[in-house]
Amino acid sequence: MPNAPASPLVSTQWLADHLDDPGIRIVDVRWCSRYENGRGISLDDPEGYRAGHIPGAVFAAMIADLSDPDHTVPDMIAPEERFASVMGRLGIDNRHMVIAYDNMGFPLGSARLWWALKLYGHDRVRVLDGGLRQWTLEGRQLSTDEPEIVPRSFVPRRRSEWIATKDDVVNAMDRSDTVILDCLTPELYEGRGDRHLWGQRPGHIPGAVNIPYLANISPALAAATASERDVLLAERTSFTMASKEELSELYRGVGIKQKERVIAYCGRGYAAACGVLALTHLGHRDVRLYDGPGPNGVQTRTFRVKSPPQATGINPPDASFGQVDIQTCIHGEGATGLRHVPRRPGQSSACRRWTISVNPRASACRSGVTPSLSAIDRSAPADNSASSTA
């Protein structure tokens, strides 16, 4: 068994030195996306793998094979039996050291596979720091040969400490020892712009703090605009994760302490997995991933909600809070508008109420199930009225 670093990351040099180690399985999980009718669709990229991959790597289809085909939300992680079957088919058993990489420059698919293996009881897994981009930037060898795979038996042992349920998130809103971490871009966190291209409303879970997944390779990317991010990424000569000192300062800046529980979320579990990976790299021991919304449904429930912070890019929650009445469907399906309700007599000016109107004909709506967590958290406009496409 190779002597891998204790960190969840391995360097390109470490992997280059261990390419021929029989105890290692290198897994390419590159993927891409396209937009149809204003919504994003995730796609595996086996063609990219066949065009050139790290020698000895096998290809894992995160979307087609390692997602749950029966889940109402796209791309949620496969149940353990399906996951174990795919691992075995890829020649991975419980003794192998798995090295995951993708082609994004920042760990998304690779972090997702790392987290999934952790969830299913496999600790012998690392993410290639910088992924395929770093590998190629350094001029390292690529191959078009596909290795022969001997099927193995992978036995999953699901560990609940790696995943958060919807109830966990709801309960965390009232706990001082748990931080909810939004890993998406500041525009989405702050509720700016139109509907999220992946089908979700902009905004964040009440009380969540924001560290965009991009910031894990460079904190400068946290506060940058979308166009500035494109330039910064194009100019990068390294895609390795930021130093531990930079990451520690980044997460301390939004109030995340070493001994607190952290629940990370995004929309489909990829950006959140990047956040979980970074915090684990820093030594945090209680970091969980909220893997998407619960069953589709509509129900009214009142949550305590913290007012959104100023648009600074790295976003701690505001200290003030009010009440929000949410009647919505998962991912906002069927939601038709957002209306500010004037405060009641005796309410603080910081206390706001919002209602979201719902189209009862929306196919995603079902009655009698638990409420959605995709509550929009937005500040009231100056004239105390607002409308927005939810």
- Amino acid type, 290: Y
Q: Which residues sit opposite 308 in a β-bridge?
A: none
Tell whether 38 and 69 lie within a shared domain: yes
Tell whether 122 and 168 lie within a shared domain: no
Coil, strand or helix at 170? helix
Residue at a domain's end among 92, 127, 158? 158
Tell whether 13 and 129 lie within a shared domain: yes
| pLDDT for res 346 | 35
Nearest to 209 by CA among 161, 243, 260: 260
Tell whether 106 and 150 lie within a shared domain: yes
Helix (H) or strand (E) holding 230: helix 226-235
Q: Are 44 and 62 in contact (CB under 8 A)?
A: yes
- Give 105-141 pLDDT, tens digit per residue: 899 999 999 999 999 999 999 999 999 999 999 999 9
Dihedral of CA atoms 357, 358, 360, 361 in degrees, nearest 10, equals 130
336, part of any domain: no
Tell whether 286 and 152 lie within a shared domain: no
Q: Which residues sit opposite 36 in a β-bridge?
A: 39
Tell whether 154 and 175 lie within a shared domain: no
280, part of any domain: yes
Provide the token pair at 180. Answer: 């909810």
84, part of any domain: yes
- Give 188-206 pLDDT, tens digit per residue: 888 875 545 555 566 888 8
Tell whether 108 and 120 lie within a shared domain: yes
Tell whether 127 and 246 lie within a shared domain: no
17, part of any domain: yes
Provide the token pair at 116. Answer: 């999934």
384, part of any domain: no
357, part of any domain: no
Going by the DSSP 8-state scheme, the letter that residue 316 receives in this structure is: P
318, part of any domain: no
| pLDDT for res 383 | 30
Q: How many domains would you assign to the chain? A: 2
CATH classification at residue 174: 3.40.250.10
| pLDDT for res 32 | 82
Tell whether 175 and 143 lie within a shared domain: no
pTM over 0.85: no
Each residue's pLDDT expressed in tens, for the chain with a length of 390 residues:
577 778 999 999 999 999 999 999 999 999 887 777 767 778 899 999 999 999 999 999 999 999 999 988 888 999 999 999 999 999 999 999 999 999 988 999 999 999 999 999 999 999 999 999 999 999 999 999 999 999 999 999 999 999 999 999 999 988 999 999 999 888 888 887 554 555 556 688 889 999 999 999 999 888 888 788 888 888 888 899 999 999 999 999 999 998 899 999 988 899 999 999 999 999 999 999 999 752 222 222 333 333 344 433 444 443 322 333 322 222 233 232 333 333 333 333 333 333 333 333 233 322 222 233 333 333 322 332 222 222
Range of the domain at 275: 162-290
Tell whether 74 and 142 lie within a shared domain: yes
Tell whether 133 and 148 lie within a shared domain: yes
Kindly provide the residue ranges of all beta strands, DSSP E only, lying in 75-207, ordered along the sequence: 97-101, 125-128, 163-164, 178-182
Residue at a domain's end among 260, 290, 320? 290
Contacts of 144 (CB under 8 A, 6+ apart): 50, 51, 52, 53
116, part of any domain: yes
Residue at a domain's end among 158, 192, 208? 158
Tell whether 201 and 124 lie within a shared domain: no
